[in-house]
Amino acid sequence: MSEGSQSKKSIAALRREYSQQALAKSEVCEDPIDQFTEWFEQAFSADLLDVNAMTLSTTTKQGKPSSRIVLLKGVDEAGFRFYTNYGSRKGRELNNNPYAALCFYWAPLERQVRIEGEVERLSRSASEDYFKQRPRESKLGAWASKQSNKVSSREELEKRFREIKERFENQEIPLPDFWGGFLLRPQRIEFWQGRESRMHDRICYEQSGSEWNIFRLAP
């Protein structure tokens, strides 16, 4: 058997049982943001690495998808906030098709949260408020990186960073026009709790007007 075949066989054999907790429809919060906040705080208290890391999936106008990990930077009744370069691939795709999906996976807790909804840009003032909180080096990086554009080398990136650093030496670094926040307004949120024998618990919230319908899905 070739090394490649052995590797594929090993991947197919990977599995484990999920048995830590259960999730009952009768026990979840009436509002999915409250339920998310409860789970997020539990994940944070468990000292998980990158607890606010989430997969953001976007699509082109033609429906071609792309995904990447970004960081959640705020959540409230309005929705989920994150920040990026508007000229990046995700920024361009959200501009052309303002619908997206988020996915959190907290493996040690055997939990997953999937979120779908419409996306809009945050106001410039909201983006400025967040940008001011960023470390100075991160602000410089936002200016230096033409995110998702081709570059000839690492040296080109570092040269650009040095130029930006010199440009703003001994100055406050302003918010770039091409950088800012997005808000995903959720229309559907699913909470997944791993269970034994792959009989996982899946509780879904779906928006209907100003109300949320709550139902269980088969695993």
- Known catalytic residues are 198
End-to-end CA distance of the chain: 35
Query: Distance between CA atoms of 140 and 160, rounded to whole angstroms?
Result: 10
HEC string of the chain? CCHHHHHHHHHHHCCCCCCCCCCCHHHCCCCHHHHHHHHHHHHHHCCCCCCCEEEEEEECCCCCEEEEEEECCEEECCEEEEEEECCCHHHHHHHHCCEEEEEEEEHHHCEEEEEEEEEEECCHHHHHHHHHHCCHHHHHHHHHCCCCCCCCCHHHHHHHHHHHHHHCCCCCCCCCCCEEEEEEEEEEEEEEECCHHHCCEEEEEEEECCEEEEEECCC
